[in-house]
Amino acid sequence: MKRETKLGRRAVLAGAALALAAPALRAQTQARVNIFAHRVHRTVATGAQGGDITEAWARENNATVEWVTFDTGPLQDRLMREASLADSTVDIGFILNTQATPRIATLFEPLDDLMRQAPIEELGDVFPGMLDGLKVGGRLYGLPFRHASSGMHYNETFFEERGISGPPRTIEDLAEFARRTTWSRNGQPVVGLVLPGVTYPNVIDIARAWDGEFITPDMRVVANEKPMVNAITLLRDLFVAGAFPRSFTAINTEDVNVWMQTGRAAMVVNSMGRNAIYNDPARSQFPGKIKTTTIPISREFSNKFEVAPAKVEFWGMAIPKNAKNKERAWSLMRAMLSKDSTLRAALNGNGPVRNSTYDDARVRAQLPFADDERKVLRVARVPMPAFDNAQRAADFFKEEAEAAVLGMKTPQAAMDDLTRRVRPLLQS
Amino acid sequence: MTAALANPARVSPIHVAMVAPVQALLIGVVFLPSLYVFWLSFNESSFGKAPSWVGLKNYVAVLSDPYFWRAFGNTAIVINIVVYLELLLGLAIALLFAGGVPMRRVLISIVLAPYAISEVAAVVMWRFMLDPSVGMISQTLASLGLPTIEWAVVPAHGLAVVCALSVWLHLPFTFLILYAARLAIPADLYEAARIDGATPWQQFRYVTLPALVPAILVAVLFRYIFAFRMFSEVWLVTGGGPARSTEVLAVYLYQEAFRYNEFGIAAATGWLMVTGSIVLAIPYLYVVYKRTLAGDA
């Protein structure tokens, strides 16, 4: 009897040990795919409404998908460091379109061969501008996953209170509406227009009302031409009129969210996808009242464009050159860019990179600005072509734009100085 | 310990073994990386590009960059204001508390409180209070008919806010050193001074101040070194703007390293900062050495 009891204990202990070890053993036999991404990528890829778009692939391939998430700056820093090593555990990294430069491309695997061996589903459905934006020297280095196209958000309540019906039709109207919606509402100051600073992606959206550029796709600096000078002049005039925040240099995207949610600003030019944040019933004092539309074109260009060719920026998935299993990484990227995955990620809040996604009834119900966004995507362009010194050029822009809006220089002088300073960066 | 140092024969292997982990840690995380950064400062290096030797080119580039000199000027202004304002305030509060105040423990806790607050949280709080349109400080100033502090658009205002924030955050450090040193001064000395007819000012000038000088030197030296590498206050308040006019050296270095990925230039900037810190520290270290170690030997 005693002997049996002893055996029984051993069996129980062995069983318990096996039960404890089983998950670890199973994990050891499973392949692990590491993705370095921004937190938003994980959110839209694994959200509740559309579900986890990696789950089916992971099950079929007996793999686990590990997300390591960072803010934009630290993500790029960490990803480039990992990609610079002799070998890396990173399988997929998210890069911005501005990072598809010749120097950075040396750290990542060209995808053309992988695409030939196992093409992605209906490549023609993916917005071609986004695919082109991830090409360097004619070779593809990333698959687009998420885009942010710019639009104009306005507080409908404020417009009604100030006797304005509907959004501005031209950029000149926008400036006028900004002045009219700058007032003290129940003792709280409201500013007509807010932007997350005057960095080039924000100002370019205004300049696109005149079809303007900072640097053209053929790498000419045209910041001192009329469209950009018009945009800076508009912001300077609004600043002087008090219709643009006194603290604009210190306002970031998160601040803008709060300004719109709390009614401190009447209008903002920002990515269209921010509509959900501005109308979030849990945080916004104006849920359902922040409307989103396209950025209006200038009167002089109203015959050429229906809406301003606003900026579009996008994230792409890339495979580091030192990744251990590139085929497996490609396989997951294909799955994440399938039509179904793109749709499900859009339901989770992603900016879809496929044209067909906008036809889905659920997406259209969720995005009241879906038609406007598609209108923008037809004409939208990246804010600046990618090149090695792009970050320095961007900071030169911010510096000169701030100087002009604050009145330290005239808009024309600031943009002349900017053009002179940026030209050498394109040659190096 | 001083005796042991004075007589090397008494430094036994056990002493060496006891300090070895710390020495190894310093060599591993400070000394060797410093050497690597020194080597890097003579190379052109970025992501996707193997380092290539360029000699002194990075130092020439940094020293001929007007933004570096602007950052250097801002750093010099900010650290001198911050360090000496902190010293004056820390000394005044230390003397006040040592002289006896009601609810001393509570008051000491209040003075020390900013040290327990993370810099990021402190900056967010200050930014909110100083918001030009809805901040409570701005509204109070406006209600008194005073002009608003436009820290986001007027460089001088931005640097003033950075100084005020830095003093508020780091005052406890200076205060603690000076307060401890003040409490260590024997009461007999003050009693003797009073018997000799010394006025309160004479007691301060001839008893308190000489006794506090070593502590003041240590506080100033450490605060100079810490303030010289000031980053978060500036980065989080003004971001170096508007138009890069409030940049300090650490922000300049950060931009070169982590925005432009120019590691060679960033490394050269780092070594120039180290050199600057050493030059700044030498007079203080010399005085500290003369007054303490040399005096003990």
pTM, full prediction:
0.83
Task: Tell me the per-residue pLDDT of A138-159, one tens digit each, with 9 for 90 and over.
Answer: 999 999 999 989 999 999 999 9
Give just the sign of the alpha carbon dihedral B54, B56, B61, B62: positive
H helix runs in A61-101, sequence order: 72-84
Q: What is the pLDDT of residue A7?
A: 52
Summarize pLDDT for A331-352 with one digit per residue, the tens: 999 999 999 999 999 999 899 9
For residue B242, give the nearest of A105, A391, A402 by CB distance: A402
Sign of the CA dihedral running A347, A349, A355, A359:
positive
- On the question of pLDDT at B256 being above 80, the answer is yes
pLDDT digits (tens, 9 = 90+) for A390-411: 989 999 999 999 999 999 999 9
What confidence tens digit (pLDDT) does each residue in B189-223 have? 999 999 999 999 999 999 999 999 989 999 999 99
Residues in B closer than 8 angstroms to A104, CB to CB, are: 47-48
Three-state SS string over A127-147 comes to CHHHHHHCEECCEECCEEEEE
What is the CATH T-level fold of the domain B70-296, as seen in this structure?
A: MetI-like fold (1.10.3720)
**Does B134 contact A264 at a Cβ distance shorter than 8 Å?**
yes
Q: Which of A80, A246, A403 sits opposite B243 (nearest CB)?
A: A403
Q: Which residues contact A376 (CB under 8 A, 6 or more apart)?
A: A149, A150, A151, A272, A294, A295, A307, A309, A310, A312
| A398 interaction partners in chain B (CB closer than 8 Å) | 241
Strands (E), chain B: 43-46, 49-53
pLDDT at position A28, please? 56
Give the number of beta-carbon pairs within 8 Å between A and B: 79
Nearest beta carbon to residue B48 from set A107, A264, A400:
A107
pLDDT value at residue A2: 43
**Is B69's Cβ below 8 Å from some Cβ in A?**
no
Q: What is the pLDDT of residue B297?
A: 43
Residue B134 contacts A, CB cutoff 8 Å: yes
pLDDT at res. A349: 85
Whether residue B128 lies within 8 A of chain A, CB to CB, comes out as: no
Q: How far apart are CA B101 and CA B106, in angstroms?
A: 10
- B105 or A68, higher pLDDT: A68
Distance CA B177, CA B166 (A): 17
Q: State ipTM.
A: 0.80
The pLDDT score that the predictor gives to residue A8 is: 61
- Which of left, alpha, beta for B39 (phi over 0: left; psi -120 to 50: alpha)? alpha
Closest CA in chain A for residue B158: A250
pLDDT, residue A367, reads 86
Residues of chain A with C-beta less than 8 angstroms from the C-beta of B133? 189, 191, 245-247, 264
Q: Which of B44, B133, B258 to mutate to test the interface with A (most CBs of A within 10 A)?
A: B133
**Per-residue pLDDT at B1:** 46
Q: Is B243 in Cβ contact with A408 (below 8 Å)? A: yes
Residue A211's Cβ-count burial label (10 Å; 0-12, 13-18, 19+) is middle
Among A221, A212, A210, smallest CA distance to A296 is for: A210
Q: Which residues of chain A have pLDDT under 70?
A: 1-29, 428
> B238 vs A247: CB contact, 8 Å cut-off?
no
User: Domain ranges in chain B?
Assistant: 70-296
**CB atoms A247 and B131 under 8 Å:** yes
Return the residue in A246, A258, A322, A422 with the most chain B beta carbons within 10 A, the one to mutate for interface testing.
A246
Q: Identify the residue with better confidence: B186 or A304.
A: B186
Rounded CA-CA distance A174/A352 in Å is 28
- Interchain contact A249–B (C-beta under 8 A): yes
CA distance A112 to A207: 35
pLDDT digits (tens, 9 = 90+) for A38-69: 999 999 999 888 999 999 999 999 999 999 99
